[in-house]
Copies of this chain bind each other. A is one copy, B any other.
Amino acid sequence: MVKINENYQKLQGSYLFSTIAKKVGAYAEANPDRKIIRLGIGDVTRPLTPTIIKTLHNAVDEMADEKTFRGYAPDLGYDFLRKAVCDNDYRARGCAIEEDEIFISDGAKPDSGNIQEIFGNDNRIAVCDPVYPVYVDSNVMAGRAGDYVESTGRYSDILYLPCSAGNNFAPELPESECGLIYLCFPNNPTGMAITKDELQKWVDYANEHGSVIIFDAAYEAYISEENVPHSIYECDGAKTCAIELHSFSKNAGFTGLRLGYAVVPKELVRGGVSLNSLWARRHATKYNGAPYIVQRAGEAVYSPEGKKEIRGLVDFYMENASYILSGLKKAGYTVFGGVNSPYIWLATPDNMSSWDFFDHLLEDANVVGTPGVGFGSCGEGYFRLTAFGSHENTKEAVDRICRL
């Protein structure tokens, strides 16, 4: 008799966004006349920009011609894209990352779910609380999380790093040993960033303890303040302790196109083994490359026109973020994020629970957001709104919330 992976039985409910989709679906069905505005899932809404579209068409045409047709992509990504990433996201910022340290993938979500596979199952992992659920759930599936404890809403073997208004949503260094540390800054869900000096402390900690930091930089393009690092490799010594994950979803609008990359420096060695070689092996065995046409689109993101257009997308969403921030502040809400990030994190009013506030907003303002507690127990009493709507919808949603 085959045995299933019993760790899956420890997962709690279904994945956060599926639950929200079901709730919203039920409400919409029962109230077909209401116009629901979705500021919940972090999905972009602006179309792909002209340079990306043109590049996609060109690449599609290449696939139509025997002479330019492309079959299997190189396991780790096309050289043209690895070079563009390296030149623009690293060398231009003074980070000494090389092409063969870049691994092209179909997005930061798969990468952040899969990266734990190259580590042993007996590692203790540390995550911020609140946290992007994929870090936790992928480790639950692998058996690293221990048991779910109903009373705390946490897994017994995970080290949670509380992030709240009290510490300005910047976690303190762990007091007990942990092997793998997930950090995401600018943060999903809180929208808060940390300074280079603060991140340096984590790099020093990891190097001292032999830990590895998984640094999720998916929201890097939204950084507007000085002294907020765009890459962990801006910190001294990060190449010996950190893996960095990037996405083309939030800057260039590739959520439906799927492209991302991981940086695994060759200097990152544990137990005498290069993690770069482990990740390369994992890619070669369990993955088969991102589509050629999508990798060409990724390259176009770094062209002069592409950069200008992508800047326009980010600015568009950040205009929404400003509107949400200032509107909610004016209405008396306590709000965070929204300056270096498309996420606004608000304290629920009147000690409402996150899910009560979700229902309240859905039913009384027909606005969908994400309950903070869905991201961890420290998210209880908070609520996430995203800046990815249209100007019109965002404005209307904020106005509706302010009228509540």
A: residues with CB less than 8 A from B are 1-6, 8-9, 11, 14-15, 18, 41, 43-48, 50, 53, 56-57, 60-61, 63-66, 69-73, 75, 106-107, 109-110, 113-114, 117-123, 133-134, 137-138, 141, 143, 179-180, 209-212, 253, 255-258, 270-271, 273, 275, 278, 281-282, 284-294, 390
Contact A119 B3 (CB under 8 A): yes
Residue of B nearest to A255 (CB): B71
Q: Are A285 and B69 in contact (CB-based, < 8 A)?
A: no
What separation, in Å, do the CA atoms of A284 and B211 have in the docked complex?
28
15 A-B pairs whose Cβ atoms sit less than 8 Å apart in the complex: A2-B119, A3-B122, A3-B123, A3-B270, A5-B119, A5-B121, A53-B61, A71-B256, A106-B106, A106-B258, A109-B288, A110-B286, A113-B286, A141-B282, A258-B289
- Point out the residues of chain B lying under 8 angstroms from A270, CB to CB: 1-4
Nearest CB on B from A269, distance (A) = 9
Chain B residue with Cβ nearest A209: B1
B180 and A2 contact, CB distance less than 8 A: yes
Residue of B nearest to A48 (CB): B63
A273–B3 Cα distance when bound, in Å, is 10
Tell which of B120, B143, B210, B291 touches A256, judged by Cβ atoms closer than 8 Å.
B291
Q: Bound state CA distance, A137 and B119, in angstroms?
A: 16
- Assess whether A258 is in contact with B288, with CB atoms less than 8 Å apart: yes
CB pair A4–B119 under 8 Å, yes or no, is yes
Name the residue on B nearest A274 (C-beta).
B4
Question: When the two chains form their complex, are residues B257 and A291 in contact, meaning their CB atoms are under 8 A apart?
Answer: yes
A47 touches B72 (CB 8 A): no
A45 partner residues in chain B, CB cutoff 8 A: 66, 69, 71
Chain B residues near A138: list those with CB within 8 A.
Answer: 285-286
Q: Of all chain B residues, which has the CB nearest A388?
A: B71
Contact of A117 among B120, B141, B209, B271 (CB under 8 A): B141
CB-based nearest B residue for A108: B288
Q: How many Å from the CB of A53 to the closest CB on chain B?
A: 4
Which residues of chain B come closer than 8 Å to A43, judged between CB atoms? 71-72
5 new A-B contacts at CB < 8 Å, known A47-B66, A53-B61: A2-B180, A2-B211, A4-B271, A15-B284, A256-B291
Residue of A2, A106, A123 with most partner-chain B CB within 10 A: A2
* CB atoms of A47 and B65 under 8 A apart: yes
* A47 proximity list for chain B (CB < 8 A): 63-66, 69
| CA–CA, A75 and B115, complex, Å | 20
Q: Give the CA-CA distance A117 to B11 in the complex, in Å.
A: 14
A71, A270, A271: most-surrounded residue (chain B CB, <10 A): A71
Inter-chain contact B285/A210, CB cutoff 8 Å: no
Interface centre among A18, A256, A258, A271 (most CB of B within 10 A): A256
Q: Which residue of B lies closest to A112 (CB)?
A: B286
A64 near B48: Cβ-Cβ < 8 Å:
yes
State how many angstroms separate the Cβ of A288 from the closest Cβ of chain B: 4
Q: Which of B50, B75, B133 contacts A64 (CB 8 A)?
A: B50
Residues of the B chain whose Cβ atoms lie less than 8 Å from the Cβ of A46: 66, 69
Let me know if A256 and B292 touch, CB within 8 A. yes
Inter-subunit contact A256/B106 (CB<8 Å)? no
How far does the Cβ of A306 sit from chain B's closest Cβ, in whole Å?
Answer: 14
Contact A284 B18 (CB under 8 A): yes
- Kindly list the 4 A-B residue pairs having the minimum CB-CB distance in the complex, ordered from nearest: A1-B210, A113-B286, A2-B179, A3-B120
Nearest residue, chain B, Cβ from A7 = B120
Please judge, given known A-B contacts A4-B118, A106-B106, A291-B256, whether A284 and B63 are in contact too, CB under 8 Å: no
